[in-house]
Structure 1
Amino acid sequence: MTNPVFLNNVSHHDLKVIPSYSAELGDNVASVLAFPTEFVELQKEYPILIRKNSETKTFQATALLGFNKEENLYLDPTCRSGWAANYIPAAIAKGPFLIGMQSQDEGSSDAPVVHIDLDHPKVSEQDGYPLFLEHGGTSPYLERITSVLKVIHEGIATQDVMFSAFSELGLIEPVAIDIDLNNGEKRQLVGNYTINEEKLASLSGDKLEQLSKRGFLPLAYAVIASMTNIRKLIEIKNGRER
């Protein structure tokens, strides 16, 4: 169950948030949503896979964190933060915070505002970083979280247009990922898609230019480059099963 409420410095002045990552704090997930606004950073650490939403039939991206349910291979208690990577996906880094929409003046569109899930295991009144300064104003931690939420908000606004552009050019293709572990276990991840590198490279100059002008070309290459991180995940898993 969740209990999201509009965050304000009166009702929540004394709230804190635990900034670390662990299974006990709800971070043991095998994949999370990934947003175009973070693809360039994500591709340095994680495989970026494309999946089709079963309800809307639209594409969305995910960052792969593990091969089994509730398996996050980036969780590592020996690391200070509990996370063994330089960049943490925005969907994880946001912790108990989320974006809500608030009505503005009549005739104006709703504006995004910060909400917090009061029932989230990282929310505390004793431990963690404060959200507000003692004498008013937001804390540096909350300011950082606001920037993370901006990555998500702007990414949501971009993703449908980006995937439509990729689809129109025939760049999205199914991919089956074979996992061979040192213990002899074999499995295959199905239901995922990626960008076809050969088709991308064979596009005409004007189509490549169009993708580039819209900012989508480097994102397509980020998805392609990220697939090398599958081997990294396999190596982490093999190392933990010795």
Structure 2
Amino acid sequence: MESNPAGQGPALSGNVMFYKKPEPLSPEAHGSLGVKRIDQPLGFLRSAHAVPVTVSEFGMAAASFPVIFVGNDKTPVAVMGIREGQNLFVGADGNSDQDFYLPAFVRRYPFVFASDNQSDRLLLCVDREGPMVTDQPEVPFFENGQPTKFTNDAIEFCKEFERQRRATMEFVKLVDSYGLFEQKSVNFTPRDQNGQEGPQQKIADYWAVSEEKLNQLPADKFQELRDNGAIGAIYAHILSLLNWQRVIQRALRTPPPGQPLS
């Protein structure tokens, strides 16, 4: 891990959801810091209705949520709510529903890799404003100027996440090159407290793999996808779309933030 003396850190690029003040981790700047248990460990997740997932997570995430592709880059995300700013799988106590998958994007917090504009490298950073980060830690980041096992484990986790993130980009490029994506939208019908239906509302426009296009691939192209290890992830994604109804039903039972159920 690179060491960056306080006040001499490189300029970082990129903004990442959840992170308010990411700083390159170093014993000089963070030698007295570490983490502690907090009352709401996933409170930061409560306002995220969609969370990025890597291709290696599709199978696990697909058992819990719709896995869709969004934006020009067709970034895969697990849908955890249908309203902006509301995660339906994090309770008021700041804990996630244990019956559902928790993406690695969330589990790595408060650590993250960031790009160094000066040297084209990745640096391990910590969110200095993360609620679990403290100068009175139960688990320190450093001991005698060296990373603790906790910190080394975080480094390895983030390295693996970065490998999977890059593999996911390659997966999306591969699927796109076969012309398998199609645009889709999903809607739901809200109900008031008396069960009366309101006007239909659009939840999202997104990209999905077309099962029809997949089935129409020539045998040799289908075999290529299989040989590249993409078929399993594709089918996991397609099956995950059955979870839209689960998320919608949760939303119908849960009032919007600060509002009555409608």
Give TM class, smaller chain.
0.7 to 0.9
Distance in 2 (alpha carbons) for counterparts of 1:172 and 1:208 = 15
Query: What is the identity, as a one-letter code, of the residue corresponding to 2:70?
Result: R
Do the aligned partners of 1:130 and 1:139 also contact (CA within 8 Å) in 2?
no
2: CA distance between counterparts of 1:44 and 1:151? 22
Identical pairs, percent? 21
1: distance between equivalents of 2:123 and 2:145? 22
2:156 matches 1:131: no
- Structure 2 residue identity aligned to 1:28: S
Once the two structures are superposed, the pairs formed by residues 75-86 of structure 1 within 5 Å of their partners are 75-77=90-92, 82-85=95-98, 86=100
Residue in 2 that maps onto 1:60 = 75
d(CA) in 2 for partners of 1:133 and 1:179?
53
Secondary structure of the residue that 1:114 maps to in structure 2?
strand
Relative to structure 1, the CA distance from residue 139 to residue 223 in structure 2 (aligned partners, 3 Å threshold; closer, same or farther) is: same
- Residues 1:8 and 2:26 are matched in the alignment: yes
Which of 168, 177, 182 matches 1:173?
182
Listed one character per residue, the Cα deviations across residues 44-85 of structure 1 (whole Å, up to 9, x for unaligned) are: 2121111123xxxx321122121112101111145xx70014
Displacement of 1:150 in angstroms is 3.2
CA RMSD across the alignment: 3.0
Name which of structure 1's ranges 82-91 and 65-74 shifts more when overlaid on structure 2: 82-91
Q: Is the 8 A contact 1:131 1:138 kept in 2?
A: yes
State the number of aligned residues. 229
TM-score, structure 2 length as denominator? Answer: 0.74
2:224 maps to 1:210: yes
Structure 1 unaligned regions, length at least 5 = 104-108
Residues 114-160 of structure 1 show CA distances to partners (whole Å, capped at 9, x for unaligned) of 211212333223466543468955234x4554454234312331233
In the alignment, which residue of structure 2 is the partner of 1:162?
Answer: 171
SS in 2 for 1:153: helix
Separation in structure 1 between the aligned mates of residue 97 and residue 138 of structure 2, nearest angstrom? 20
Cα gap change, 1:129/1:82 in structure 2, threshold over 3 Å: closer, same or farther?
A: farther
The alignment partner of 2:30 has SS state of: coil
Give the C-alpha shift of residue 99 in structure 1.
0.6
After superposition, the C-alpha distances for 1:149-208 in whole angstroms (9 at most, x for unaligned) are 234312331233222221222210111111234433431123311111122233233212
Q: Distance in 1 between matches of 2:107 and 2:35?
A: 12
State the one-letter code of the partner of 1:138. T
Q: Is the 8 A contact 2:33 2:137 kept in 1?
A: no
Report what 1:199 is aligned to: 213
Aligned-pair distance for 1:21?
A: 0.6
Matched, 1:46 2:65: yes
1:30-52 Cα offsets, whole Å, 9 max, x none, are 11222223222211212111112
Contact (CA 8 Å) 1:50, 1:59: kept in 2 or not? yes
Segments of 5+ residues of structure 2 without an aligned counterpart are 1-18, 256-260
Matched with 1:90 is 104
Residue 188 (structure 1) aligned to one of 188, 202, 205: 202
- Secondary structure at 1:188 match in 2: strand
Point out the structure with max Rg over C-alpha: 2
Q: SS at the partner of 1:223?
A: helix
Cα displacement (A) at 1:229: 1.7
Point out the more displaced range, 5-14 or 34-43.
Answer: 5-14
